[in-house]
Amino acid sequence: MLFAEQAVTSSDKTFFQLRKAIVEGEIAPGTKLSETELSTKYGVSRAVIREAINRLETCHLVERKANIGARVVSLSPAGLIELYQVREALEGMAARLAAKHMSDAEISDLRALLNQHFEKVQDGQSYYQEAGDLDFHYRIIQGSKNQHLIAMLINGLYHLVRMYRVQLGMAGPRVTTAFDEHRQIVNAIANRDGELAEMLMRRHILYSKNNIEHKLLSLSKERDKA
């Protein structure tokens, strides 16, 4: 991955493993995270499990209560909407700042990335939604050069968004249209038009929200039938 986080300590490794397991649904939403159980399962002491759980909590992937324990967050339509509302504001802002602060080199790199994605999409690889889209957003977030913004989005919301997507099985009819949106955003950034970049990004995320919301709705309808 491009912006690699590398595990130096044992807690890091356990944290990454747990995060992956949660995001990818291996550990279901709402599951209680037992410290002793996890410590035997991952072959580490409870201390590192506790540390990992703490970090999962700061990602908003689990909720902890004193003397009771931690549970994986449960997803809900309301939660999704709240999440995307915040994302819209923050990533819109990121796009605006990126138009101001990204270097020409970074922008042309971003363009190159987009072209790569385009080829892969044409090859019919569903790769796009998985890593590509995320890389794109990653780069713009980083391009904002605002540390608070970066921390909030990357450490905070980002993995939660992934979790929703994975859990709802987003493969994506939106792939091609999303691609065009990405291209427009890059153009706006290249033109140093922050206002437009923000607006396009907000709209992009709004569409994305509508799309995923629709999926969520049809899923719940199926559930009602059964």
Please report, as ranges, the residues that interact with DNA according to CB under 7 A.
8-11, 32-37, 44-48, 50-51, 64, 66-70
CA–CA–CA angle 95, 134, 75 (5° rounding):
105
| Min dist. Cβ of residue 200 to its own copies (A) | 17
Alpha helix segments (H runs only) across the chain: 10-23, 35-42, 46-58, 77-101, 104-122, 127, 133-143, 147-150, 158-167, 175-190, 194-225
| Min dist. Cβ of residue 22 to its own copies (A) | 17
Task: Round to whole Å and give the CA distance between 226 and 219.
Answer: 11
Question: Which DSSP symbol is given to 26?
Answer: S
Identify any residues that bridge with 63 across adjacent strands, giving them in sequence order: 71
| Min dist. Cβ of residue 55 to its own copies (A) | 8
Distance, CA of 164 to chain centre: 9
Q: Between residues 9 and 220, which has the closer beta carbon with respect to its own copies?
A: 9
Provide the sign of the torsion angle of the four alpha carbons 20, 76, 152, 98, taken in this order. positive
Binding interface with its own copies (CB under 8 A): 8-9, 12, 47, 50-51, 54-55, 57-58, 60, 66-67, 79, 82-83, 85-86, 89-90, 92-93, 97, 146-149, 151-152, 156-157
Q: Between residues 2 and 89, which has the closer beta carbon with respect to its own copies?
A: 89
Residue 2 contacts which entry, its own copies, DNA, none (Cβ below 5-8 A, type-dependent): none
Residue 142 contacts which entry, DNA, its own copies, none (Cβ below 5-8 A, type-dependent): none
Give all strands of the β-sheet with 32-33 in edge-to-edge order: 32-33, 69-72, 62-65
Residue 147 contacts which entry, its own copies, DNA, none (Cβ below 5-8 A, type-dependent): its own copies
Residue 34 contacts which entry, DNA, its own copies, none (Cβ below 5-8 A, type-dependent): DNA
